[in-house]
Structures are given as C-alpha cells and as structure tokens.
Amino acid sequence: MKKVSKKALNQSFWRWWYGNLTGFTHEHMQTFAYMWAMLPIIGEMYASDEERSAKLVTYYPFFNTEPQIGAIVVGITAGLEEARANGNTDVDDEMINGIRAGLMGPLAGIGDALIVGTYIPILLGISLGFAEGGNIIGPLFYIVVWNATILAFMRFIYFKGYELGGSAVEVIVGEQANAVKNAAITLGQIIVGAMAASWVSIRTSIALTAPGEDVPYLVLQNSLDGAFPGLLTLCFVLFCWWLMAKKSLSPVKVMLLMVVIALVGVLLGVFDPGLNY
C-alpha cells in the first residue's frame, strides 16, 4: 500500500504556505500555486512521467479561495490522491475537482469572515495602539504574531485535511460550520464598525457668525456632536462602502476621490486640518 511520506507532505505544505499567490493571474488565480503544491504528492505516488502528467491535469481547472484557510483543500486532495494511487475507484478527476470547486467558495466566505474580517483587524488594532508615538513595537508585534499564528493554523488544517480526506467536506460546509461562519461574519462587521469609529475622524469647520460679531452663534460640528456624535464619520464610511460595493470603484479610485474631496473642502473652508504654515 502506497502512503505519502512526511517529507512530501511537508514539501507540499511549505509550497502552499509561501507560494499560494505566486503565478497569480485573473484567468487562473491560484491554480498554478495549487499545482505546484501538489507536485511532491504526485511525484511520490506515481512512478512514470506519463502517469504524473495525467494526474497533474486534474489540478489545472480554475481555483481561488482565501489562501490561509484554503490550505485544508490542498491537504484533503493530498489524501484523495493517496487513495487514488492505491486503486480507490471512487476517487477520480471528477470527484477531486468537485470537492475543490465545492469547497473554494464556502472556504473563501469563512476565511474572509474569520481571518480578513476579524483576526487581521484585531491584530492591526492592537498593533496601532502599540505604534502610537512611532514605537517600533507596533509593526514588530504584527509581523511576529501574524506569521507565528497563521503558520501554526495553516499547518494544522493542512494535515487535518490530509487525515480526513473526503470526509472533511461535511465538517467544513455542514450546518455547524455555517453557524460558525454566520457568527464570525457578524463579529467581523462589529469589529470593522468599531475600527472605523475609532480610527476615522471627519469634522467640519463650518460656523455661522452674525455681522459685527466675533464669536459664532452656530458651530455646526458642536450641533452635530450634540445630536449624533460621529455622524460625519459614519457618512464618510458609508459613502466609501457605497462607491466600492454599488458603483464597483476600486479602493485606489476611492482614495483618490477622498483626496480631491479633502482638498476642495479645505479650500472652501468646509474642513480645517489644523495645520500651521
């Protein structure tokens, strides 16, 4: 009975860990990185170049998911490839590609909610707190903690996927996993909202002064703070979301638009950056 060696599994994992976004194109996304990660497995399971070439074709179709949690897909297919090499007729190209295609969407949602939408903002929030005043501990904290934790996480789920093989599908996309995903999405939305309120500050300098008076009788920002603190910040964040989600503007275009709005606003006296020249 053929069994994938620890060496081949480690090679496959490390290739996915540092190469999951290499060879990235809009046509293939992570396909080539996936194939490269599977090369040690296929090279060990099949003796001839003809067999290896034929099996590698299995991994040519489009593949794209959240790269960290996506390590489990590579582990699962490593287990499936081992079963196929041992004559399991239930494991063929169609089954493997069905699992890959079926998992990459749900995993992208889970990974974006847990890692991109929750874990990364938490780490960045802590790092920004450490970095106040130019303290180098902030960026060092993020670099060390992110790499250490994500490496341990990816390695664990890769080898867990290899152990589970095809049975991992229900574990990942079953009812309990969907409940965890929905809870993570809600938590991520709360964290993003809190981050926006904490780190974005939009204030207006508009004030109305009666003729002949030096003291304004209406300071718009004070009135807004009394009725709805942070209203301008909320409007700013929602406006950026609307531009990207509804108008399909790229983040770069939105940032350039914000620069233009800020510049015009300062020139017109709507915003006061508080700078002295």
pLDDT tens for residues 225-275? 888 888 888 898 899 889 988 888 887 888 899 999 989 988 888 887 766
* pTM, to two decimals: 0.60
- 70: exposed, middle or buried (Cβ count in 10 Å: 0-12, 13-18, 19+): buried
The pair of structure tokens assigned to 238 is 């929602």
Q: Tell whether the model's pLDDT for residue 179 goes beyond 60.
A: yes
- 246: exposed, middle or buried (Cβ count in 10 Å: 0-12, 13-18, 19+): exposed
Name the nearest CA neighbour of 118 among 172, 181, 178, 173: 181
Number of Cβ atoms within 10 Å of the Cβ of 237: 18
Separation CA 203–CA 274 (nearest Å): 11
Least confident of 174-178, 193-197, 198-202, 205-209: 174-178
pLDDT tens-place string over residues 86-124: 777 777 777 777 777 777 877 887 888 888 888 888 888
Separation CA 75–CA 81 (nearest Å): 10
Q: Tell whether the model's pLDDT for residue 4 goes beyond 90.
A: no
Separation CA 150–CA 147 (nearest Å): 5
Contact 231, 224 (CB under 8 A): yes
Q: Tell whether the model's pLDDT for residue 133 goes beyond 70.
A: yes
Three-state DSSP class for residue 69? coil
Separation CA 101–CA 60 (nearest Å): 12
- 181: exposed, middle or buried (Cβ count in 10 Å: 0-12, 13-18, 19+): buried
Separation CA 273–CA 262 (nearest Å): 9
pLDDT computed for residue 173 by the predictor: 46
Separation CA 167–CA 25 (nearest Å): 31
Mean pLDDT over 177-199 rounds to 66
Contact 158, 75 (CB under 8 A): yes
Three-state DSSP class for residue 212? coil
Mean pLDDT over 207-234 rounds to 83
pLDDT computed for residue 276 by the predictor: 56
Rounded mean pLDDT of the chain? Answer: 82
- Region of 30 please: left (phi>0), alpha (psi -120 to 50) or beta: alpha
Name the nearest CA neighbour of 111 among 69, 168, 174, 158: 69
Q: Tell whether the model's pLDDT for residue 13 goes beyond 80.
A: yes
